[in-house]
Structure 1
Amino acid sequence: MHYLEAFERSVRVHGDDTAILTDDGRSFTYDEFDRRSTELTNAVTDAVGDSPLAVLTLNGPAAAEAMITGHKRGTPTVQLAFRGTAGELVDMVETAGADALLFDDANADTAVDVIDGADLSVGFHAGSAAVDHPDVVDYEDALDAAAFTLPDRLPADGKTNIFYTSGTTSAPKALAFDGEQMWTGAYQGVMEHGIDQTDLAIVTTPWYHMVTSDAWLYPHWMAGATVLLHEDFDPAEVLELVEDNGATGLLAVPTQLSLLNDVQENAADPYDTSTLSYVRTGGSVVTEELVERTSEFLSEHLYNTYGMTEGGPNFTFAHPSVQDDHPGTIGKESFSWELRVVETAPVTEHPDPEAEVGPGEQGEIIARGPGVPDGYIDNPEAEEKSFFDEWLRTRDVAEVDEDGFLYITDRVDNMFISGGENIYPAEVERAIDGHPAVAETLVFGRDDPEWGKKVTAIVVAEADVDAEELDDFCCKHDGLANYKRPREYVVREEPLPRTDTGTVQRQQAIDRHFD
């Protein structure tokens, strides 16, 4: 089954019911959602044919409409990270082959740079800000001028969504998914949380993430539920939305959960969150302390989940009932997956699927299931490292307990997660190394109570430079998004320690300054 079929069922059954709410008070029924996404489908197809549509917006109706448009066109919607720089976004758009860009007021300046940098045919502006560009048209005007019925030739038999995940190099990696794979993730989300038409779920995480799209938005629309799109995360505003709307569901990464708990704990009159029957988290390690605080201040119904963009729908989920006996676990494999924890192998080699580790031992998680895409777009070298036979390697190291529950403990390589975002040290290191006073850099994640891991840099200087100057350099770097910027620097003169073969001894260098 394809996701569009599930959405069409929701429109037939729940046409007059509310599909989307916004944090500024707007409301869209399923019939309106359906009509507007069809109009967008026709407007984009009339403008650029079968070329993909890229989208650069905050959480809002235009992003939601574009998600459904990808299914109605059978040509992918390219889900861009609004935290990216113009240079990064141009590369992403070109990799996907997009020829149109949908953007909002918050991203207008960057969008104009992307349109020019990627030489796009048209930009659709969803907002009221003044945008002076000959190839930009007003979003609402474009919808009003478009047909409100889908032509017989659509949808085409193609991909529906393109997601990005940062690789071990500076270039993001693109993955294309089809409607059947998105349906797989959506039904899995419905089953994990028991979502139905009576639910109202808050969306706090960026829509372009796989977890927000395939494990949250798509499942709720499949079930005929309502989603409330929170444009830009603010913990007090989220709690007010929960209370005012009687929200039953909430998606938040651990950093957000921690901030929500802080507001509740310090409030003289805490917000009423008793209606929350499922709170979904993931993206970084969920500590026992976070589970306990969330249960005390927010909801006892915390679902810990684990996945990656390459895998489409999440690999595992831990029902709230297992946290007392298995605190911090990511649970067991979810409904459409087979997982194995096997002996780790170097990044340049494929692990052996038959070499499973026993209880109490650690190994790398590998996964197979119908949600796995064909591979990366135009990146065969990375594809060879991650996809083999039927399996996808995660490079995540996990421990298996006696009851079969999994716990993430490390990475096969050096990636770490800060505030729910993947940080790859090599990318940040290369950016800092571009400073004329820098000889070499080592970047790692240092434990931090708010961010999980704080981006930290050890910099070998060959001229006078301090942390303030390095931070200013990173802020202005076109190829380095702000969330990847180090929050702490150590400047040293002596070279980084290396092995006889030239490999940096990372832990030795880290211990030297952060013992």
Structure 2
Amino acid sequence: MRYVDFLDRGAELFGEQDAVRSSEIVWTYDDLVAITHRIARGLQRDGFTPGEPVAIWTPNHPRGFACQFGAARAGQPWIPVNARNGIEENVAVLTRLGARHLFFHPSVAADAARALAEVPTLRSAVQLDGLPVLDGVPTFEDWLPGPGPTVTCPTGPDDVVMLPSTSGTAGRPKGVRHTNRGFEAMVANYQSLMHYETNPVTVAAAPLTHAAGYFATTLLSQGGTVVTLPAPEPLAIMQAIEEHRATTLFLPPTLIYTMLAHPRVGDFDYSSLRYMIYGGAPMATHKLREAIDVFGPVLAQTYGLTEAPVVLGFLLPRDHVEALADPAKERRLLSCGRPGPFTEIAIADDDGRLLGVGERGEIVCRGGTVMAGYVDDPEEDARAFAHGWFHTGDIGERDAQGFLYVVDRKKDMIISGGFNVYPAEVEQVVWDHPAVQDCAVIGVPDDRWGEAVTAVVELKPGAELDTAELIATLRARLGGVKTPKSVRVVDALPRSAAGKVLKRVIRETYWKGRDRVI
């Protein structure tokens, strides 16, 4: 099945049920399908042909969601542009991927105007909402063709349907080619792992340009309803769960932490939830316990990358519950689960040799969800697919029961005094301190150690931290090699638009002007 086929299947089975809701728009499946055909005809009318990329630049919005399917129906790959990225990065992405047309929300109009001026391939644009704000750019309602014939999607299983970009946390963002076949495998993975007694409802609070959008797409063939929130505001999320009887949502750990700290977290009914899925970063184990106490036994973790979207690994709610109940299984709370049924995962050394249980190496994978390759980057393709596997860049290990543990990013490993230190292990312990909201552990240059383990810490609002006391606590639990030599408190850790802590940015402060960064 192709990307648009999952929406069409939902319409066949659940045509009069709500497909998308926002504070201003409610569309049934029949409504949404009809709009996507009109979008596809509008692109064809304007002279666009299959294979020409269409960019969608908006916070979460029903029309932006519809444009994803309208572009795919016309055979045009869509480029998800994260509205919280910097303008320089977004212009660079659109230029690199050769965007031909732009759908944008008025809240990013100034950035869209700059893109139209600076991206040489952009030919036209449409504003998705509100009164016109850019000269010569029509609004969605003015641009959209009237009702008419349906559009036959011209793509096949191996045609590219989506062109996301890597986050740039480890360097320059790269364009990624995902096919219809890849989405089919992703949906199969999801639906084999997540089950519902009723039609699911997902609150899309995290960006639909990222994992939240993948979850939303997979629910469509099951008659799911996508409730879009324009921003990931904790109170609005909690209210939406109760109001819409949400069954599913995807959130980064930092947002779950913020919700747990909110004074009104206990005011709402969360009994409809079946899956509160977190990903993009590990979650502190004591926070998992707290979240399960508040939201119920519904916490689930997914592991994936832009190049190999979820579900590479999935830690089910029952896995969390069993780990909390049995001290012998508690370590599983540090795991990102077991492979999805349509994904193969292994651990490999630098020579491509597959490693055994408990051995640490690079996580490699293969299967239908893995990208078709990078955009115009054969050298990166050769590196990424060496030895017949996709190389994730993550260091990990597997236990005898098949649970996968992501120890760290390959490039994040610290070599201090000749010993390898994996920051994620240290961060798990730092997170346990009651004053710590979030942290990043990095190596900084040191004449004696080569790299000195350093914890950069963001505190909870109003909290204070005795750094000497924290270091002493860490030493007792971690030993001398892994314990940070110093703890530095910052107002806020730098994060990507997807909420990931940008260790690269933190390191630059300490390694600036040096010939090496390790």
Give TM class, smaller chain. 0.7 to 0.9
- In the TM superposition, 1:2-41 aligns within 5 A as 2-22=2-22, 24-41=23-40
Q: For 1:489 and 1:392, locate their aligned partners in 2 and report how far apart those are by CA, in whole Å.
A: 27
Q: Which amino acid aligns with 2:364?
A: I
Q: CA offsets, 1:88-125, max 9 Å, x none?
A: 22221122222110000211111111111114211110
- Using structure 2 for the length normalisation, give the TM-score: 0.77
Q: For 2:360 and 2:503, locate their aligned partners in 1 and report how far apart those are by CA, in whole Å.
A: 31
Q: Which amino acid aligns with 2:292?
A: S
The answer to whether the 8 Å contact 2:169/2:504 transfers is no
Q: For 2:367 and 2:265, locate their aligned partners in 1 and report how far apart those are by CA, in whole Å.
A: 48
1:207 aligned counterpart, secondary structure: coil
Compared with structure 1, are the counterparts of its residues 342 and 154 closer, same or farther at alpha carbon in structure 2 (3 Å cutoff)?
closer
1:83 aligned counterpart, secondary structure: coil
Q: What residue is the counterpart of 1:183 in the other structure?
A: 184
RMSD: 3.7
Q: CA deviation at 1:197?
A: 5.5
- In the TM superposition, 1:349-364 aligns within 5 A as 351-352=351-352, 354-359=353-358, 361-364=359-362
Q: What residue is the counterpart of 2:128 in the other structure?
A: 126
Q: CA deviation at 1:65?
A: 0.7
Q: Please list every run of 5 or more consecutive structure 2 residues that lacks an aligned counterpart in the other structure.
A: 324-328, 414-422, 428-439, 443-451, 462-490
1:335 aligned counterpart, secondary structure: coil
Q: What residue is the counterpart of 1:503 in the other structure?
A: 516
Q: Which amino acid aligns with 1:128?
A: G
1:223 aligned counterpart, secondary structure: coil
Q: For 1:276 and 1:47, locate their aligned partners in 2 and report how far apart those are by CA, in whole Å.
A: 43
2:149 aligned counterpart, secondary structure: coil
Q: For 1:244 and 1:101, locate their aligned partners in 2 and report how far apart those are by CA, in whole Å.
A: 33
Q: What residue is the counterpart of 1:259 in the other structure?
A: 258
- In the TM superposition, 1:260-279 aligns within 5 A as 260-263=259-262, 266-267=263-264, 270-279=267-276
Compared with structure 1, are the counterparts of its residues 111 and 482 closer, same or farther at alpha carbon in structure 2 (3 Å cutoff)?
farther
Alignment counterpart, residue 385 of structure 1, candidates 383, 386, 390: 383
Q: What residue is the counterpart of 1:401 in the other structure?
A: 399
Q: For 2:387 and 2:67, locate their aligned partners in 1 and report how far apart those are by CA, in whole Å.
A: 33
2:143 is the counterpart of 1:142: yes
Count of aligned positions? 446
Compared with structure 1, are the counterparts of its residues 249 and 171 closer, same or farther at alpha carbon in structure 2 (3 Å cutoff)?
same
Q: Please list every run of 5 or more consecutive structure 1 residues that lacks an aligned counterpart in the other structure.
A: 346-350, 426-441, 452-470, 476-480, 506-515
Compared with structure 1, are the counterparts of its residues 91 and 148 closer, same or farther at alpha carbon in structure 2 (3 Å cutoff)?
farther
Q: CA deviation at 1:404?
A: 2.5
Q: For 1:245 and 1:163, locate their aligned partners in 2 and report how far apart those are by CA, in whole Å.
A: 30
Q: CA deviation at 1:497?
A: 10
Compared with structure 1, are the counterparts of its residues 169 and 48 closer, same or farther at alpha carbon in structure 2 (3 Å cutoff)?
farther
The answer to whether the 8 Å contact 1:340/1:365 transfers is yes
Query: Would you identify which runs of 4 or more consecutive aligned residues in structure 1 move more than 4 Å?
Result: 167-170, 415-418, 442-445, 447-451, 481-492, 495-498
Q: CA offsets, 1:32-52, max 9 Å, x none?
A: 100111111111222241222
Q: CA deviation at 1:86?
A: 2.6
Q: CA deviation at 1:485?
A: 9.9
2:221 aligned counterpart, secondary structure: helix
Q: For 1:483 and 1:108, locate their aligned partners in 2 and report how far apart those are by CA, in whole Å.
A: 27
Q: What residue is the counterpart of 1:333 in the other structure?
A: 339
- Using structure 1 for the length normalisation, give the TM-score: 0.78
Q: Which amino acid aligns with 1:388?
A: A
Q: What residue is the counterpart of 2:300 in the other structure?
A: 303
Q: For 1:443 and 1:107, locate their aligned partners in 2 and report how far apart those are by CA, in whole Å.
A: 40
Q: Which amino acid aligns with 1:387?
A: F
- In the TM superposition, 1:224-303 aligns within 5 A as 224-263=223-262, 266-267=263-264, 270-303=267-300
Q: CA deviation at 1:291?
A: 1.3
Q: What residue is the counterpart of 1:202 in the other structure?
A: 203
Compared with structure 1, are the counterparts of its residues 375 and 304 closer, same or farther at alpha carbon in structure 2 (3 Å cutoff)?
same
The answer to whether the 8 Å contact 2:64/2:128 transfers is no
Compared with structure 1, are the counterparts of its residues 30 and 385 closer, same or farther at alpha carbon in structure 2 (3 Å cutoff)?
same
